[in-house]
Every structure is written in C-alpha cells, then in structure tokens.
Structure 1
C-alpha cells in the first residue's frame, strides 16, 4: 500500500484561523430561503415564526459563525423596506435573476435577524448598490443598529423590535463587474468609497465594510480597489474606508454551459474537479501578494464570500433554482479548500460557501414533505469545527502521491492542522479515487496522547445522501496506531479524516 508522510510542528503555532472562514451564504434563489430556511408560520413542519427548526438544529451543530444574505445577484435588486412591517402589507417583487419567480417578501429583515439569533450566527448583510441608493443602504444600517429616537429607529420599533441588533458585516454590493451593475473597476471603486462613507457606526456596533471584489484572479479589479484606499510603496496605512475586499471562486470542472453532473461522472471528471478546486490556492496567493504590496501590515482583509462546486441542475428541476446533489467528491472539494484557507489565514479572514440549503454545494437538502438530508459537505464542516479560532500549525507533506493530468502533477494528499485549548486537530484528505493510502503523522515538538480519529468516505466518489439513504456518506471512527515517528492512519480511496490529539 502506498505511504505518505506528513510532518506537523505541534509547538509552532501561527496565525489564528478565524471561525468566519466557515461562514455560509443564503440567497433568495430557488428553495434556499422559501422552502429551505423558511416554510411560513402555517406550515405543518415545526417552525418558529416560519423558520424551519430542524434546519436550525442541523446548522447549530456546525457552530455556523456567520450568514450572508440576501444575495448574491439578488442583493442588487432587493429593496429592504419592501420586506418589513405586517406581512399582508408587504409588496411582492419579481426575482429576475433566479427563475423570474414572484416573491411575497414574507422573509425580510426581521425574519433574517430572527434566523441569525436562532443560529447563533453573526449577520452579514449585502446591500444594494446596483439598483439602490446610498441613502437606502445607510438607512438600513440605521434601522438595524441604532438606538434612540431617529426616524429609522421609530420605524423599527413600530415593527416590533425595540432594541437594535448587532450587525457587524456589510457587503457593498455584489459582483459589480457582472450582475451587480456591469461596472468598470474604477467606477465601482469610487462607488465603494462613497457608499462606505455613509455606512455609519451607531453606538457600539462597529461595521466591517466589505467591497465587492473580483471574479477568480482578476487582479486588475483588486488593484483598483486597493488604489482607492492606498498607494503602492508609499509606506502609509490604507484609508479606513472599507475594511475588506471580497472575491468569488467556483469549482466548475466543465464549461459554464455544460458543467457536468453532480453524481454521474467518470475518473477524468473527478480529477479535473480536484485540479480546479486546488486552483483556489493560486488565486488566494495572487490576491494576497498584490494586497501585501499596497497593505503590507495587512489592515485590509481578504474575503471569499462565494465558493463551492457548481454542477448542472438535477434533471427535472427548475434551471433557475440551481438545485444539485452533493456527493463524496464535493466533500473533498470542501476539505481541500479548508486546508488552503488555514494556510492563508493571515490574510483570508472570511469565506462563505454557496449555498447553505438546497442551492449549489449545500449543507442541507430539504423537501416539501419534511425530509432533511445532511450532505457529505455538511460532515466536513462538522468534523473541522475544532479549527474555529485555533492557531494554525506548520504542516508539510514531504512524501505524498501525485497524479499526472495533462502533463501537470496533481497532489493527491492534502492536510492542515491547528491547536487550541491544549488540543491539536489534524485534517487529512486522500484525493486518490482508487487507492488506499497509509499516512504517517510525523509529530514534532510535543508528545500527544489520546488520539481520536474520524473518517468520512463512501464506496464511490459518486455516492451521496438522499431521504431514502440519509447516511450513505457519514462519519465513522478511524483507527489511529502508534508509529515510531508519531502516528499512523490508513485512508481509503477518496476519503477525508480528522485526528484530534491532546497535547
């Protein structure tokens, strides 16, 4: 059996892995909100104010740190004042981006804040730059976060909420280069400065303003935003106008027109998917290097607020709803993303998987009959909880395995580790779809005890969970054996594992 060696320095803690790297994204898209998070107060499915309680329970088990809403592309056509007040009085709207469906606005600001409170998650509100106004977004901040007797506060109190909420994260539009306005980089950079100026801190609620950034590795877009607040080599701190710059990166193995099936794929499709997912490291490195030139003290954060796999929709479903299944392959895409996120946690401060329920690489799949399915990706998030706000540890795969794809050697072993509260957590992925792998954990700097191993795998990379087979892919115990250099585990093909150690 092939063997790999992973060297881990247990006594060299580094940057903190922000829990917000495990953030989520909920857009008014398909059945993410209506039929996913929100079923209405009259539903037979147990709910609190229309919010589906089994979804809340499942996500609380992930310790979900933040939730981005209402979009996505939808954010730049959403006018928040249509979603407050008595539900019977709220005007309907047309969701032109996703299925051209009519929405009744029954899930609005108060419902979103109630959802975040149930989840214990920090709200990340994405404002409307594309079709909105500076005043509209500024008043939304006031409505949510101010106390006293201002016009927006009086309106909030009239709608049943006396005390302000804590809303730290604010997105200044979304994909302004595309669905958010088809703007040029310099034009959006000026808008971002303007909007951010009028998004005020009220009381002790301090805003973290996130400028809408690039698609993939569009460094020109990122540089335009950096030039708007800093200068190259000038030695000054960036102007404190916005605090972070976002970017988006999706794992699309095929073309945008023919992305491929989530569950019906061959080995070549599998390898191309993993290769595309591994590309996230190149993209983060590129943005980080550019940001280091303009912001060497790393005052500005990098935010990946949309990421994940994107496949063709499931047959027979609305193509505008982006409903796809979620297989063991998707779980491995998530696991290797997190390894990369951990390595770049000095600059990368937040990430939001797209999306939480029933859309793209979802945590949960639900149906109108009350079924709830935890996907393989869900289990990766749960198994990695120990990395939240932990200190990253140096990890080196010094003897791994590779696969040649079109003349490029793909790494087939991915790993990361962290330490917190006297325990270390090691994450390991065997990306080889056909062969098992013995992994030696070469542990240095400490003598850990009581190793606890967990394993996520399946009979094939195509295996997925359904209402009829909800645990086809589910965590199981993993045997961890002592070895002269530390510990040894055996990873089946296409598998993800964690090893927890007491130091």
Structure 2
C-alpha cells in the first residue's frame, strides 16, 4: 500500500525455484510490490468482479491482518489506515486465511492450522461489511486435512463453524505429454484426471457433513486446472505461463460443469 516508490521490495517467493535460479540477478527474482492492494482493487472494479484477498499466515501477524481489513474496509477518514488508503472503502467480503497451509503456506498440521485460523479470525472488525472467511482447504484427496481441521475447530466450540464461509480445496490434474505436444492417449488421460474433481468434492463434502450437518460451509475451490511442465513459456521468467490449447479449454469446461451440477 502507499506510494509505489515507497513500497518495500522483497525477494520473489519463487526465487529459489529452478527456473529463476538460472536467471541469476534477473528482475523477476524480486517483487517490487508495484501491483498492490489499490491496483488490484482498481482491476477488480474494471472487470466487474468481487475481490478475494488472502492473508499470508506464514509471514503475517494477526494484527497485520486486522490492519489490512481496516485499510480495505474502514470508512474514509475514520481510522489511520483509511486515511492512508485515501479513497472510499473497498468493502472486501471474501478473505482467505492462509494459502496451501499444508505446504508452502506454513507446513502446518491440520490441528495447528485450525488454531491459526481461530486466532486470525477472532474479533476482526467488519466496518459494516459481512466478512466471509475461507480457510485453506486440502491438497486434492487429502481427506485427513479436512477431517483434522474441522474436528479441531468444533472441539474448541461448534459455534466456530459460523466463522467458516467456504472451504478452499485445491486440485490440479497435472499434465500428460506436453502443454502443446501430446498424443490421443495423453489427451484423454488428462481429461480423465480432470473429472476426478467430482469425486474429490463428494469425498470432502461427506467429511464436512460429519461436523457441519446442515452444510452451511460452502466449497470455495480456488485453484484447479492443468499444471504443465515448463518449456512453452514465452520467456524463461514467465513462471508457469505455459501455452494453452483446446485440451485446456475442455478441462476448464468439464470442471465448470462439475461445479454447476
């Protein structure tokens, strides 16, 4: 936040990945934060979408998260952070609490993550905005993560389920062949992996129902699709920016059809 020239510059999260490491001191190894909260909000408004922000609980404190909500939602002029923002409030409803907290987002066990979720969502000021918290869900078919989180949450208090708006399952069907070059068998192999999404939803939904019998908690499946190997990117520093084909479009269509059903 704040003037671009005064924002902190940090090492890119992916700087130690094989691709960026080969580029030595390339600018892509660093994050200048030029596209920050305000720029993202402007983009969201331009495309007519609703913002969905996620707290980095691996490195952010609960107080910093509160300050971010304050920055986004407090009426202009009422708090210090609203004055720094300098615009009408963004009224952000959807807040992810962590991202892939079972792995790169903290290497938590589900019981540990449930504690962090409780801490980060305790008495967060809403400023009249109905905050919708979305905890970091499982990696694909990791049913133990779903069971462990909900069990730990309701063990503390069943009422804590009211803080959970959605459950963020992540599932990538991977790749078969290459992003552009693949044969017929590889084409259908990847489609077969994509439709596994339906069974994953059923399996996790059943476990969620053991603790949330009225199924008030929704699914918020916010990462999905193919994940191709490097090789077709426009430039070496375009991480994960592989060329898409009609196969990827069919995967998207199949997955969206599963969601709508």
Counterpart check, 1:252 vs 2:252: no
CA drift at 1:184: 1.1
Q: Which has the larger strand fraction?
A: 1
**2:58 aligned to 130, 134, 140, which one?**
130
Determine the structure 2 residue equivalent to 1:178. 103
**2:213 aligned to 296, 302, 308, which one?**
296
Task: Specify every segment of 5 or more residues in structure 1 that has no aligned partner in the other structure, as ranges.
Answer: 1-83, 255-259, 344-503
Is the Cα contact below 8 Å between 2:175 and 2:190 reproduced in 1?
A: yes
Counterpart check, 1:111 vs 2:33: no
2:175, 2:229 → 1: CA distance? 11
Residue deviations 1:390-447, cap 9 Å, x none?
Answer: xxxxxxxxxxxxxxxxxxxxxxxxxxxxxxxxxxxxxxxxxxxxxxxxxxxxxxxxxx
Counterpart check, 1:200 vs 2:125: yes
Q: Which has the larger helix fraction?
A: 2
**1:211 aligned to 119, 135, 138, which one?**
135
Determine the structure 2 residue equivalent to 1:277. 194
1:165, 1:237 → 2: CA distance? 29
1:219, 1:319 → 2: CA distance? 35
Residue deviations 1:435-481, cap 9 Å, x none?
Answer: xxxxxxxxxxxxxxxxxxxxxxxxxxxxxxxxxxxxxxxxxxxxxxx
Residue deviations 1:54-105, cap 9 Å, x none?
Answer: xxxxxxxxxxxxxxxxxxxxxxxxxxxxxx2222222211113253611221
Determine the structure 2 residue equivalent to 1:342. 260
Q: CA RMSD in A?
A: 2.0
Is the Cα contact below 8 Å between 1:134 and 1:198 reproduced in 2?
A: no
1:320, 1:186 → 2: CA distance? 36
Residue deviations 1:35-72, cap 9 Å, x none?
Answer: xxxxxxxxxxxxxxxxxxxxxxxxxxxxxxxxxxxxxx
2:83, 2:174 → 1: CA distance? 47
Larger Rg: 1
TM-score (norm 1): 0.47
Determine the structure 1 residue equivalent to 2:67. 139
How many aligned residue pairs are there? 247
